[in-house]
Structure 1
Amino acid sequence: MARIRVRITRVPSVLALSLSTALALTVTGCGADKTESDAGTSGKKNDDAPVVVATTSWEGAFAKAAGAKDVKVIVPSSAQHAPDYDPKPSDLTAVAGADFVLYAPFEPYAEKIKEAAGSDAKLVEVDLDNDADKVSAEVARLGKLFGTGDAAARWDTSFKSEYGTLQKELKVAWPGGKAPAVVAQVFSVWSAKLAGAEVSGTYGPEAVTAKQLSDLAKKKPAYVFDNVHMTTGEVLPDSGAKQVEIVNYPGRDLDLLTVYKNAAETIEKAMTA
């Protein structure tokens, strides 16, 4: 039986020292970091579109959906498990010139991001969850912060339309015309909701005990919706459940809709195989 492990890589102190040196050369005038509550409704400089720096492509995609056009991403999209990435000082110097800095609290380098933000950047903690309702709310919130509320609203309209289409297509693919029972990794539950599946149980992100795996197997799920970014192999290898790998992070194009389309395609293939 598989065990789910989450590796947390802490940013070494030498990086913090190097980062401080790099920022000293790139930032003039250092003041207290500003948080989201200080951001107001627009972070534009000289009436230009706001400059947004995101820790990963996931935050970057939220920013793009909310209407931001100048979005820089620190962790490359090729990183299989973004929280394991060690940002270099050269990665973080861009933060000093940003209007907004987007990060997630579970990222171990979040504190370094805050230190790199400088006097002008507004720090925004993003709730990274691809649950459709949460995405709509988060994109609207970011649009208000960026002063791009109209663009965010247009994106949300398109998103809801596409999401509804994908749900209908997946319902047609239900085996035997019945919603399948699935077990899902906690960060992949959104994909089960997209598929209209019945979630029999969840696991992760911490290591799963033998008893938990036994309990999940007893639920006799047809599928296991795993998280490709945290997978350690087949979760219920002896249960007969088909494992489906779900991707949460967008690619370099920062297209959040593509995440849903790809997930739907992967799930449909599994259900119709």
Structure 2
Amino acid sequence: MARTRVRITPLLALSFGAAFLLTATGCGGDSYTSDSSGSSGSPASSSGADGDAAGEDSPVVVATTSWEGAFAKAAGARDVEVIVPESVQHAPDYDPKPSDLAAVADADFVLYAPFEPYAEKFKEAAGGAAELVEVNLDNDADKVKAEVTRLGGMFGTEATAAEWITSFDAEYGKLHKDLKSAWPDGKAPTAVAQVFAAWSAKLAGAQVVGTYGPEAVTAQQLSDLSGKKPQLVLDNVHMAAGTVLPDSGARQVGIVNYPDEDLDLLTVYKNAATTLEKAMNAS
């Protein structure tokens, strides 16, 4: 497996071109560089362009997964290296290589999540050279904006982060409105959600009648959740454990939390909206 290197160009416009919760990424090939349109192919480079349209400098960021990397990109970082390959379904299962740990030492910032078992290895590898940043990985819209604002302040890219948030609000509002117009019979659907997929219920305006996870669902929980007669089960693709409420009549929907290798966080919302709309309109 090889590390994924993504060089990000300045934020010119936000689109939903390419891309549900806890852990994703996988075995990759050679490292590559990518601009914000997702094109790739050239060997990775350790340096990125300095400054952006607002005259901001951009730091060198190492992110454990594409999720942290997408937060960094949204906040204004353009030189972002992702350690865990995008194809790994459950990122905490990844075993960092010596070359991964070496990359940490060259970063200005290292972004990680506390649930990742290799976080301690990265802390040791960073020593005192890089600033370690624990990221609150949650795609709830309010939490995302808070984290992007915080990271923008740390990176010195506040203007770019604010620009991203403005575009995010506009796109999120449109998706939310479109999903409400797709409600069956004009009524908000009822849903049971895996705790790390609850953000998608908020996006759809669904009524959450119960949650489960991250621990395995017990027989009593299954009985209680089934008794609430939800129309949808919003499951976390990255911690999926089969059909959650069998024989309940609820339609199970897989929600993806991690962005693709282009680190476009907005595509996660667009893809979730498309999946939710299909589930709500399925006969």
2:187 aligns with one of 157, 178, 186: 178
What is the TM-score normalised by the length of structure 1? 0.82
Distance 1:201 1:77 in 2: 31
Structure 1 segment 95-106 matched on structure 2, within 5 A: 95-106=104-115
Q: What letter matches 2:188 in structure 1?
A: A
Show the counterpart of 1:20: none
**Is structure 2 residue 243 aligned with structure 1 residue 260?**
no
Count of aligned residue pairs for this structure pair: 229
Task: Kindly indicate whether residue 191 of structure 2 is the aligned counterpart of residue 157 of structure 1.
Answer: no
- 1:24 aligned residue: none
Structure 1 residue 232: Cα displacement = 1.3
Match of 1:120, SS state, is coil
Distance 1:249 1:207 in 2: 21
One-letter code aligned to 2:193? A
- Contact kept, 8 Å, 2:61 with 2:77, in 1: the verdict is yes
Distance in structure 2 (CA, Å) of the matches to 1:182 and 1:119: 46
Q: Which amino acid aligns with 1:144?
A: G
1:195 aligns with 2:191: no
Root-mean-square deviation (Å): 1.3
* Alignment of structure 1 residues 181-260 onto 2, 5 Å: 181-260=190-269
Query: Does the aligned pair in 1 maintain the 2:57–2:156 contact within 8 Å?
Result: no
- CA apart distance, 1:119: 2.4
Distance in 2 between the 1:253 and 1:238 partners?
39
Q: Structure 2 matches for 1:1-273, cutoff 5 A? A: 49-273=58-282
Using the TM superposition, give the Cα deviation of residue 208 of structure 1 relative to its aligned residue in structure 2, in angstroms: 1.1
- Deviation, 1:61, is 0.2
In the alignment, structure 1 segments of 5+ residues that lack a partner are: 1-5, 8-46
TM-superposed CA distance for 1:118, in Å, is: 2.7
Q: Does the CA contact (< 8 Å) of 2:149 and 2:162 recur in 1?
A: yes
Indicate the SS of the match to 2:239.
coil
Percent pairwise identity: 77
In the alignment, residue 121 of structure 1 is paired with which amino acid?
A
How much has 1:48 moved relative to structure 2? Answer: 5.3
TM value normalised by structure 2: 0.79
For 1:215 and 1:203, the matched residues in 2 are separated by 11
Structure with greater helix share of residues: 1
